[in-house]
Amino acid sequence: MAKITLDNLAHSYYPKPKGEDDFALKELNHVWADGEAYALLGSSGCGKSTLLNIISGLLHPSQGRILFDDVDVTHATTADRNIAQVFQFPVVYDTMTVRDNLAFPLKNRGASAQYIAQRVQQIGAMIGMEAELDKRARGLTADAKQKISLGRGMVREDVNALLFDEPLTVIDPHMKWELRTQLKSLHHEFGHTMIYVTHDQTEALTFADKVVVMYDGRVVQIGTPQQLFEKPEHTFVGYFIGSPGMNVIPASVTGKTATVHGSAIELQRGYSGLDGKVEIGVRPEFVSLTEGEGLPVRIRRVEDVGRHKIVRAELFGNEINIVAGEGTAISPDMNKITFDTSHVNVYVNDWLIEGEAA
């Protein structure tokens, strides 16, 4: 297991990048703690696989260094980095049995026959394929083949890190949950450094201790699920995480007051000299509907999703979402909203501004 340091790292697929736009991965400095489980979350094309492949050594970065526990591995091969990587689509040897596929990484590293037999049995159980160990991979479904790929990724206990690139894409929904749970317990048991790439927030939030959110080639926030929820450092994190995502409302902000179309909103902290695109961000969970004082809204639709209701409304022509408790009766007289002051964030050019304690 290893601590992984990304030092001044950046990557462009162009031989002569002209500007920042030509970089699939913008400059990045970060330390991935030894033994932690990370999820790398972002929409398609934001640079997740690029980053993962640079860590594993499949791709050489155009700039910067990678260190494993302070050893520079920037130019080391994947094999020398001692890493297991599982991809989106199955990589299996069709002519081999499931057992031999699982045993392969262990045989390669010269493990004893006795250890291999015992470990393969254990992994076979984890991926739910104990009964199929002696079948050839050829005749199996894509789903089963991907389970073999996952098993192969997990079979070695002595790797520096385990990397997963959207590994559950071809797996059916029920098995997805099952395998994610297995990966999590594997992490608890062996404490490997794990990086799990996904575009699915539920997957990221349930799997990881820390979620690394990427947007347009940049890491925009690294945090616990709670930090991402409460203090999105970038408006993208606010939109992308949460269902529905954070409301982002154009405003002007001075001192401890935000103004939206002439209506004042109290803030917890003070701000001065904000320059650029100023917005406030409030999660739907921290917006309340009222018949009393507040900002005027028009309710468009109410969705009952079981545990709570999602109210889709309009605030000065823009959509705003409100989460109301299951028991809340929503009457047509509720045409105002208020915000929970301690959960109103201020953004300038999409980045969170901390403000000063008053």
Task: Show the binding pattern over residues 25-54: x = contacts ligand ADP (CB under 6 A), - = does not.
Answer: -----------------x-xxxxxxx----
CB of 211 to ligand ADP, least distance (A): 14
Q: Quick one: tokens of 236?
A: 């993208």
CB of 60 to ligand ADP, least distance (A): 12
Helices (H), 196-303: 201-207, 225-230, 235-240
Q: With beta carbons less than 8 A apart as the criterion, state whether 323 and 343 touch.
A: no
CB of 49 to ligand ADP, least distance (A): 3
Contact window for Mg ion (CB under 5 A) among 42-50, 231-239, 258-266, 346-354: 42-50
Q: How many CB atoms lie within 10 A of CB 121?
A: 14
Nearer to ligand ADP, 47 or 151 (CB): 47
Instruction: Mark 259-280 as b/e (b = at least 16 C-beta within 10 Å).
Output: ebeeeebebebebeebeeebbb
Size of the site for ligand ADP (CB under 6 A): 10
What gap in Å lies between CA 65 and CA 87, rounded to an integer?
Answer: 24
CB of 42 to Mg ion, least distance (A): 9
CB of 163 to ligand ADP, least distance (A): 12
Q: With beta carbons less than 8 A apart as the criterion, state whether 100 and 84 touch.
A: no
Q: Quick one: tokens of 164?
A: 């997963």
SS3 of 131, please?
A: helix
Nearer to ligand ADP, 27 or 100 (CB): 27
Nearer to Mg ion, 49 or 85 (CB): 49
Amino acid at 245: G
CB of 346 to ligand ADP, least distance (A): 29
What gap in Å lies between CA 50 and CA 63, rounded to an integer?
Answer: 13
What gap in Å lies between CA 97 and CA 133, rounded to an integer?
Answer: 7
Identify residues 44-63 at the interface with Mg ion (CB under 5 A). Answer: 49
Q: Which does 191 bind (CB under 5 to 8 A by kind): ligand ADP, Mg ion, none?
A: none
Q: 201: which strand partners?
A: none
Q: Which does 99 bind (CB under 5 to 8 A by kind): Mg ion, ligand ADP, none?
A: none
Among 210, 208, 209, 212, which Cα is nearest to 221's?
A: 212
CB of 11 to ligand ADP, least distance (A): 8
CB of 167 to ligand ADP, least distance (A): 13
Task: Show the binding pattern over residues 191-220: x = contacts ligand ADP (CB under 6 A), - = does not.
Answer: ------------------------------
Nearer to ligand ADP, 46 or 126 (CB): 46
Identify residues 8-27 at the interface with ligand ADP (CB under 6 A). Answer: 13, 24
Q: With beta carbons less than 8 A apart as the criterion, state whether 78 and 53 touch.
A: no
Nearer to ligand ADP, 36 or 165 (CB): 165
Q: 215: which strand partners?
A: 218
What gap in Å lies between CA 36 and CA 308, rounded to an integer?
Answer: 33
Angle among Cα 327, 328, 334 to the nearest 5 degrees reads 170
Alpha-carbon radius of gyration of the chain: 24
Q: Which does 24 bind (CB under 5 to 8 A by kind): Mg ion, ligand ADP, none?
A: ligand ADP
Nearer to ligand ADP, 42 or 284 (CB): 42
Nearer to Mg ion, 49 or 221 (CB): 49
Site of interaction with ligand ADP (CB under 6 A):
13, 24, 42, 44-50
- Contacts with Mg ion by CB under 5 A lie at 49
